Structure 1
């Protein structure tokens, strides 16, 4: 799916969110409903999240130049991190306000909550559908999607709370709905911050096991050892790998490199690989010593049929 199509979906969702948010703020103050005001606050962050996502997509599309040899692809991860932190901060605020209202519940107009909540469900279903059609493998788009999805859950909780207030007069239902929304924000926010943090710390993608990759590479024909293996994400969905592979004297280094590249591409979907393939010195066989072969080796050593050995 093209970035241009993603931007169209994001723009459509943004227009829906901003239009309804302005209506909800007014109704929230009229009804004196924290649940409605918290929904409106969440919708504001939805709009900001979508704007950040759209800006990040444009920045990330710029070609590599100067010192930015990968380009600015991690702008999308910064956007996802901001979205996650925003959700966490909002959840803390609404927990505080919700507890206050549990202790001292105000008079809340339940009928306004129900009407606005039902309308909000329709708007957020449309916005969620639009964003679900965009490329959610990008943490950037996923961050915006999580904002909208949590807002949909929030409107469902608000509608239920409004019906309780309207039918029974129990005002604390409004505060409970706000606390439910806060819990959902906390869960989604933590997930985004955690996943974006993995990219910033250059950890391997969550679905890849570097030890397994090392062992499978070491099991290739003619390979005696794999070390200095690194797997990281430049941005979501863009994994890179580098490694030093030692092969038996007389073996075809180019053929081994091609076999390793094919393994990475077909089994792990890694298209960007940088592999240094050398012949292992005769005096180091059969068990090579990477510390003597490399000036500054680090990480585990992988050999066929032998568990990884830490250097």
Structure 2
């Protein structure tokens, strides 16, 4: 006795389209930043370009994972392939951590170098402004889709970091142009590294939460049980389990003890519809499975929740 709400194909296609557009924008700006870094000698710009390279790779991973996740369920993969999004996000988090370490080492190396590296602040400023505009557009495109996909959220967080990184590069470029103080470039690169790491850890924590089949953040089993008990004829709810396939795809199962009259008088279908509507409307759970049991039934072989 369950309810399978179909995954919206439109939503998936829309997410893939947004990822593709963001990929084109990010890859283009990455090339511009690499050229600008070579011409200006800016480490911060190169760090931002490296982050853009990471974003490009992450968006490719996200796009591939999104396509795989859209495949329909089959007898072997009964939940479909949406968990592929989580593995894509895991790869993104690993890339982010490696990037933060590389930028940090390079930034410190420049700060302790006996002679500061000459940096062309003007070129650095123009390229950073281009990066800022491109990141703002990509961020706007991914804003809505990231709320329902952990995979798109990984890409969104990286673009957000790039936007903040572009601001840091712009500030450093202005300092260099106005004062000639070259270490501002290395400091900006360290700031970019410092911003990357916590975002990567946060994404990694969310990925592990999904893989560990923990309840989604903000989900309270006691509150769900309370809502279910308000349905007429329900006397108890036990063996409750709630987890998520990926961000925005929670799954719920429970044993529901009902008064014998509900089963004897054909009220099962109506009760199931009420329970499913309760979870869908109040807790945004599209996939729910219930086992109805008459009062006095002693099937408690699973761990009680």
| 2:295 matches 1:298 | no
TM-score norm. by structure 1 comes to 0.86
2:72 to 46, 63, 77: 63
The answer for unaligned runs of 5 or more in structure 2 is 1-9
Provide Cα deviations, 1:190-225, integer angstroms capped at 9, x if missing partner: 222122222111111112111221233234333222
Task: For residue 273 of structure 1, give the secondary structure of its aligned residue in structure 2.
Answer: strand
| 2:23 matches 1:8 | no
CA offset at residue 15 of structure 1? 1.7
2:54, 2:295 → 1: CA distance?
A: 56
Aligned residues: 290
CA contact (8 A) 1:9 1:133 kept: no
Residue 304 of structure 1 aligns with which residue? none
Residue 216 of structure 1 aligns with which residue? 227
| 2:286 matches 1:274 | no
Distance 1:198 1:34, change over 3 A: same
CA contact (8 A) 1:227 1:297 kept: no
1:185-264 equivalences under 5 Å are 185-252=196-263, 254=268, 255-264=270-279
CA offset at residue 26 of structure 1? 2.5
2:284, 2:144 → 1: CA distance?
A: 22
1:95-244 equivalences under 5 Å are 95-104=104-113, 105-132=116-143, 134=145, 136-244=147-255
Residue 23 of structure 1 aligns with which residue? 32
The answer for unaligned runs of 5 or more in structure 1 is 282-289, 301-311
Task: For residue 270 of structure 1, give the secondary structure of its aligned residue in structure 2.
Answer: coil
Distance 1:63 1:77, change over 3 A: same
Distance 1:191 1:278, change over 3 A: same
1:64, 1:261 → 2: CA distance?
A: 21
TM-score norm. by structure 2 comes to 0.88
Residue 90 of structure 1 aligns with which residue? 99
Superposition CA RMSD, Å: 2.0
Task: For residue 260 of structure 2, give the secondary structure of its aligned residue in structure 1.
Answer: coil
Q: Which has the higher contact order (CA 8 A, sep 6+)?
A: 2
